Structure 1
């Protein structure tokens, strides 16, 4: 009961932060013009196609996750794995960063496998995602350096960011952490909690290094590239649903996708607010007005998150049903 109350409080806090950021981003826009665009200026068939691309990426992620799990545990059922992935995305909309643990817990429950090993595999996935996002950002910078650099200069304080790495306090803090770790390491190593953590770490490491034992590394790479291609299409196909973005190039779509993805890093539900800001600002670089960009961001974000909510709820409903039949 206490845990549920804490989760509700967390949800309300994150929702309040996201709601405030949404208000802050949209506070100066012409909401009447945005409403008119939503009513008459959108071809929602393209938005539906974007949702299909999103589902395709999630299905591919499911297959890739199965490949990571199989060497350390067993081949999981496709239905359970896919539903677990979708429950994870749904949980992220409730409490940011909760989804990774949630999908591991769901799959562990229905497949009777180690949740700690599963967490290790998910950490590998997230590490690969970070690498892919970094590579995409480098590609955007290489292809459209002048446009993106102007955007970064206008919308970020690079001086404050660089000060973090040049400040003596940063290095003093890191040195202090290392010193404290060395002091307490030997004492802590003799305790019972340490032995338990050591066992958990061993299982986690098995999951983390499962990538070395993949049966088909080429297929794993294919799924990784396919997932990110679908992520790009989720944004780009929506360009054809609006008259003011229909003539923009795939490069513009790629820039909106990559810079928007940076907004997803913020600890709010579905990047609520920061994602909108990044996409709106990116579209402005290509001649789209603020109000038009705001309408685009609102429709695309709402549609893709509605898809996650719907599939997440369906997953929660069908997981116990299909596993009762298979028991």
Structure 2
């Protein structure tokens, strides 16, 4: 993939935004005390937390493999697993590049058309979005008395203030212009690259239809639930790593996983900064100081990044040194 100056600047700006959020989160905090908590953490629990995340990554590879099999592509578990880990590694450098990166890995290793892979990735990501929505809804229903005030102050009032300043006629006009631009672009692309465009469309449709062709939809859904359950366990196990959060229960981990889910959706490399701020905010709801929340979020984020750096780099090495499938 070729990057021009504009693209490079975009990623640099996104990275700087993440660093800026990280700086704002730690500004005014006692950094020495935070570092002391991190140094004295019980890393046995951190390792257990990392193992839970690794199991979630394995389940993600198994789930993705099922989608390929449903559209008659023979992608092995190891190819799917290596692609997932390399995708996470790529996301640390360039936000959202990992989705394209892991499709490229499968294309190289198993000769699956790129746009068929992209269709399967979008399909599984849609299920993750649904899971994030359902977990958010469950959090609102079962912990409304805890999160209601935060959502009203931090989300509703800010959103209402911004919406009140929006000129809706400008918004409608902008939407119409964007729609016309996309329609014209698609028309000219079809005229100039009709055969290639058709092939891309067919491959994308094949990937999008992968779930509907599954013979074991229940197993696919079980993998999806398992992924989120092990993410939840990783949050919960990490609570025991420092004294300040050791008394927290599953309800706090559930809220933290929802907040972290929205944080990781932000277009920032590895969720840096945004993850720390959001998780620390979620723990404030359970009487954990922002300083202790930052120490906890730093431990869990750093451990997961280290896991990706090690296993992602190993997967990249194995894929690059492996002969291509004929």
Give the TM-score normalised by the residue count of structure 1: 0.91
Give, in whole Å, the separation in 1 of the partners of 2:314 and 2:251.
Answer: 35
Task: Give the structure 2 partner of residue 154 of structure 1.
Answer: 153
| 1:218-237 alignment, distance < 5 Å | 218-237=218-237
Q: Tell me how far apart the structure 2 counterparts of residues 165 and 137 of structure 1 sit (CA, whole Å).
A: 27
Q: Which residue of 2 aligns with 1:171?
A: 172
Secondary structure of the residue aligned to 1:14 is: helix
Deviation at 1:325, TM superposition (A): 9.8
The aligned residue for residue 68 of structure 2 is 69
State how far apart, in whole Å, the 2-side matches of 1:215 and 1:310 are. 35
Other-structure match for 1:188 = 188
Q: Give the equivalent residue in structure 1 for 2:259.
A: 259
Would the aligned equivalents of 2:111 and 2:325 in 1 still touch at CA under 8 Å?
A: no
Distance 1:266 1:227 in 2: 20
Q: After the TM superposition, which of the residue ranges 255-264 and 93-102 deviates more from structure 2? A: 255-264
Q: Is the 8 A contact 1:151 1:282 kept in 2?
A: no
Match of 2:26 in 1: 26
Q: What do residues 263-288 of structure 1 show as CA deviations (whole Å, max 9, x unaligned)? A: 11111111111111111111111111
The alpha carbon displacement at 1:173 in A equals 3.0
Query: Cα gap change, 1:66/1:176 in structure 2, threshold over 3 Å: closer, same or farther?
Result: same
Alpha-carbon spacing, 1:80–1:2, altered in 2? closer, same or farther (3 Å): closer
Q: 1:200 to 1:51 in 2, by over 3 A?
A: same
- CA offsets 1:21-74 (integer angstroms, 9 cap, x no match): 21111111110110111122x111111111101110110010110110112242
1:204 aligns with 2:204: yes
- Aligned residue for 2:125? 126
Query: 2:141 matched to which residue of 1?
Result: 142
C-alpha distance in structure 2 between counterparts of 1:33 and 1:69, whole Å: 49
5+ long unaligned stretches in structure 1? none
The whole-number CA distance in structure 2 between the counterparts of 1:187 and 1:86 is: 37
For residues 165 and 225 of structure 1, the distance between their equivalents in structure 2, rounded to whole angstroms, comes to 39
TM-aligned CA distance change 1:186 to 1:62, over 3 Å? closer
User: Is 2:71 the counterpart of 1:108?
Assistant: no
Normalising by structure 2, we get a TM-score of 0.91
Q: Tell me by how many angstroms 1:199 deviates.
A: 2.2
Check 1:164–1:120 CA distance in 2 against 1; reply closer, same or farther (3 A cut): farther
Q: How does 1:282-301 map to 2 (within 5 A)?
A: 282-301=282-301
Q: Secondary structure at the match of 2:323?
A: helix
> Does the 8 A contact of 1:188 with 1:194 survive in 2?
no
Shift of 1:180: 5.7
Deviation at 1:178, TM superposition (A): 4.4
Specify the alignment match of 2:15 in structure 1. Answer: 15
Alignment correspondent of 1:245:
245
Q: In the aligned structure 2, how far is the partner of 1:306 from the partner of 1:187?
A: 46
Higher mean Cα deviation, 219-228 or 168-177?
168-177
RMSD of aligned Cα (Å): 2.5
TM-superposed deviation, 1:160: 3.7
The alpha carbon displacement at 1:315 in A equals: 0.4
Say which SS state the counterpart of residue 191 (structure 1) adopts. helix
Q: Partner residue of 2:51?
A: 52
Q: How has the CA–CA distance of structure 1 residues 88 and 180 changed in structure 2, closer, same or farther, with 3 Å as cutoff?
A: closer
Between Structure 1 and Structure 2, how many residues are aligned?
A: 324
CA contact under 8 A between 2:252 and 2:286: conserved in structure 1?
yes
Residue 212 of structure 1: how far off its partner (Å): 0.7
User: Offset at 1:179?
Assistant: 5.2
CA distance in 2, matches of 1:286, 1:57: 26
- For the structure 1 residues 165 and 215, does the alpha-carbon distance in structure 2 shift closer, same or farther, using more than 3 Å as the test? farther
Distance 1:161 1:197 in 2: 40
| 1:233 CA drift (Å) | 1.2
